[in-house]
A and B are shown apart, each in its own frame.
Chain A
Amino acid sequence: MPNFIMSYLGSTVTPGEAGNQFWALIYVLIIFAAVSLAVVAMNWFERKALAHFQIRLGPMRVGPHGLLQPIADALKLALKEDIIPAEADQFVFWIAPVIGLLAAFTVYTVIPFGPSQAVSDMNIGVLFMLGVSSLGVLGIVVAGWASNSHYPLIGALRSSAQMVSYEVAMGLAVVSAVLMTSMKTGTGTLSMIGIVESQQQQGIWFIFKFFPLGLIAFVNFVIAMIAETNRAPFDMAEAESELTAGYHTEYSGLRWSLFMLAEYAAMIAVSSIAVTLWLGGWLRPFPNLLNAPAWDFIFSLFPGLTFGALAAVAVIGVMRMPVHPYFRVQRIGLAVFAALLGFIALFLLVIALAGRSSDATVAARFRDGIDYVYWFVLKVALFMYLFIWCRATWPRYRFDQLMRVGWKVLLPITLVVLILTAIVGVIVS
């Protein structure tokens, strides 16, 4: 058994491919924990960023700069009374958030954080992702129905129609990216890792491929993905000013937090897919052009430097806090947080330095792994910012306008882009 566990360590493929169930399980647990943590961080970041868009400060009271606010909220939600409306369908009401959460988290099994940093490299990765994320709508529909109330029902109807229609445009945009993978080798691939690798082989992110075809497909995918995750300006399903809270009006406490968890997990998942398909996944900028070991070293410093910058921001926050007994605990808390970030930065820099010497050592492999995950997460984080930015900027579409955009604008454009991509691909090769 230890042999079975250790044998994977030298491998350069995903545990799924290596057939190593132990490491697959470990990866699943890591991803589950990391995504949950990312949702918590995203919750804080969204509130802070949105607040600063809107000339507010956002959470400031719970922990320094409201850093503990998501934890306090989670605690509050977990301790709340669990209410199931008397007229609701008990079992379906209970299972609806679970369906949504399962669908959102299952997508992560195929998302490659690195060439071997994924649970599995399915050869139908993209299809799997599309299929499983389309199951998420079931949770919403069923939740709206089970609440046995008008507002949730309308919210559920809206969101099911919306998600089903935008899936079409989303799928077509994905197909045009998949088509691009077949350019050099002749055979395309649906595997997520294969898609990133073919971007490396072709030496171009697919967003710039056949300019502007890749870009248009990418933009269409981004619009469809915002609609697919029910985020502003397409947040019809939970349009608070119209339907109070849409499909989760009757939900409260832990169940409601499961819906939120699913929504944010789905946002991160679709962003990861966009990053994988168009923005080169785990690839750092210019991996082919700047491929000398010196460049490798410079780029491997980025994770450490990023955490160093975050630590510096935290230190500045400590220094700017008023010197007053009221702020003592907050100052200490923020200082500890800064120290934590600083240690992480130091650790990452040490690994970058240790991994410089040779390519074969464990340190080098570890350094590469951190690099891959860092660039992937950085790109996904930019998408998260995009979500917040859209929410702060735009009014909400009306339902019929939303459907019109989906069917009459996005769908034809993606279709044309798909056909043009195929034609250009044939001409070029």
Chain B
Amino acid sequence: MNPSLNMALISAFTTTTDPGMAPVATPFFFYLLSGLAVAGGFLVITRRNPVHCALALIVTLIAMAHLYLMLYAPFVAAVQIIVYAGGIMVLFLFVIMLVSIERASKDRRFNRIWPVGLAAACALMALFVSAFVKGRALFPDRMIAIPEGSNTQQVASMLYGEAGRMGQYTFAFEIASLLLLVAILGAVIMTKKKI
């Protein structure tokens, strides 16, 4: 998104903010939810029982959804819950339940390539930090209150609006969905020996 448009959007929304809608105890809920998300993530990688891991992951995902809500992105929050917590995690559990739990918990927790994983995690972290530091100008320095009511329409016009004006992400969006389709086909071919 180009910076000028972004600023325009921000200014447009900040003016319409209703002071009555200011959220209560924002820092408290932010730290609560972030703490939950981090704790859930920690449990995911430390618990031996895969079902416990999955449940912890669900806690993380739901905490993330609430963080989206705090960022005035209810649409993304709802999609997060429907797709990840309600759909994908149920399928995860579905698979995990069929696996012999006793055996899985006796296996090694981390396999031999854990240094690579650690390095990748550090690299990702570095990316986030550098993006945050370098892109400071792009981000607003305080939380902007966007009217909740227009969020869904905003997302829709970003994705499907006329090209050149708001619908600049149509192509990227469709490409992403095509990518997912390829992944689905790959999964089908890998699991089904004959179709």
A–B contact with Cβ pairs below 8 Å: the answer is yes
> Using a CB–CB distance below 8 Å, which chain A residues touch chain B?
18-19, 21, 89, 91-92, 95, 122-124, 127-128, 130-132, 134-135, 137-138, 141-142, 144-146, 153, 156-157, 160-161, 163-164, 167, 187, 190
Contacts of B58 in A (CB 8 A): 138
Q: Is the CB of B87 within 8 A of A164?
A: yes
The list of the 4 closest CB pairs from A to B, nearest first, reads: A134-B86, A131-B81, A127-B78, A131-B82
Q: Is the CB of B86 within 8 A of A124?
A: no
Q: Is the CB of B20 within 8 A of A157?
A: no
- Of B91-99, B164-172, B177-185, the one touching chain A: B91-99
Query: With A21-B24, A124-B75, A157-B97 known to touch, is A138 a contact of B153 (CB < 8 Å)?
Result: no
- Closest chain A residue to B52, Cβ basis: A92
A164 to B52, CA, bound (A): 21
Q: How far is the CB of B187 from chain A (nearest CB, A)?
A: 16
A92 to B47, CA, bound (A): 13
Q: Is the CB of A141 within 8 A of B94?
A: yes
Interface size on B, residues (CB 8 A): 32
A128 to B77, CA, bound (A): 9
The contact sample of 10 A-B pairs, CB cut-off 8 A, is A19-B22, A122-B74, A123-B74, A127-B78, A131-B86, A134-B81, A135-B85, A138-B85, A138-B89, A142-B93
Query: With A138-B93, A187-B153, A190-B152 known to touch, is A145 a contact of B51 (CB < 8 Å)?
Result: yes
- Chain A CB within 8 A of B195 CB: no
- Chain A CB within 8 A of B34 CB: no
Q: Is the CB of A89 within 8 A of B51?
A: yes
- Closest chain A residue to B24, Cβ basis: A21
A153 to B97, CA, bound (A): 8
Binary flags per residue of B88-115, CB closer than 8 Å to A gives 1, else 0: 0111011001100000000000000000
Q: Is the CB of B20 within 8 A of A161?
A: no
A157 to B99, CA, bound (A): 13
Q: Is the CB of B97 within 8 A of A127?
A: no
Q: Is the CB of B81 within 8 A of A132?
A: yes
A396 to B165, CA, bound (A): 54
Query: With A138-B58, A160-B93 known to touch, is A123 a contact of B151 (CB < 8 Å)?
Result: yes
A324 to B90, CA, bound (A): 58
Query: With A161-B94, A164-B90 known to touch, is A142 a contact of B51 (CB < 8 Å)?
Result: yes
Contacts of A163 in B (CB 8 A): 90
Contacts of A122 in B (CB 8 A): 74, 148
> Using a CB–CB distance below 8 Å, which chain B residues touch chain A?
20-22, 24, 49, 51-52, 55, 58, 74-75, 77-79, 81-82, 85-87, 89-91, 93-94, 97-98, 148-153
Q: Is the CB of B82 within 8 A of A134?
A: yes
- Closest chain B residue to A191, Cβ basis: B149
Of A131, A141, A153, A187, the contact of B85 (CB 8 Å cutoff) = A131
Contacts of B20 in A (CB 8 A): 18-19
Q: Is the CB of B152 within 8 A of A124?
A: yes
Contacts of A137 in B (CB 8 A): 86, 90
Contacts of A141 in B (CB 8 A): 90, 93-94, 97
Of B24, B51, B94, the contact of A160 (CB 8 Å cutoff) = B94
Given contacts A123-B152, A190-B152, 14 further A-B contacts (CB under 8 A): A89-B51, A92-B52, A123-B148, A124-B77, A128-B81, A131-B78, A131-B85, A134-B82, A135-B86, A138-B58, A145-B51, A160-B90, A164-B90, A167-B86
A18 to B20, CA, bound (A): 7
Q: Is the CB of A156 within 8 A of B86?
A: no
- Closest chain A residue to B62, Cβ basis: A135
Q: Is the CB of B55 within 8 A of A157?
A: no
Contacts of B52 in A (CB 8 A): 91-92
Of A123, A132, A142, A160, the contact of B55 (CB 8 Å cutoff) = A142
A19 to B148, CA, bound (A): 13
Q: How far is the CB of A62 from chain B (nearest CB, A)?
A: 39
A123 to B74, CA, bound (A): 8
Contacts of B51 in A (CB 8 A): 89, 92, 142, 145-146
Q: How far is the CB of A140 from chain B (nearest CB, A)?
A: 10
Contacts of B149 in A (CB 8 A): 123
- Closest chain B residue to A127, Cβ basis: B78
Q: How far is the CB of A347 from chain B (nearest CB, A)?
A: 34
Contacts of A134 in B (CB 8 A): 81-82, 85-87, 90
- Closest chain A residue to B81, Cβ basis: A131
Contacts of B89 in A (CB 8 A): 138
Q: Is the CB of A138 within 8 A of B90?
A: yes
Contacts of B55 in A (CB 8 A): 92, 95, 142
Q: How far is the CB of B102 from chain A (nearest CB, A)?
A: 11
Q: Is the CB of A19 within 8 A of B91?
A: no
Of B21, B79, B150, the contact of A127 (CB 8 Å cutoff) = B79
Q: How far is the CB of B154 from chain A (nearest CB, A)?
A: 11
Looking at B20, B90, B91, the one whose CB has the most chain A CB atoms below 10 A away is B90
Contacts of B82 in A (CB 8 A): 127, 130-131, 134
- Closest chain B residue to A96, Cβ basis: B55
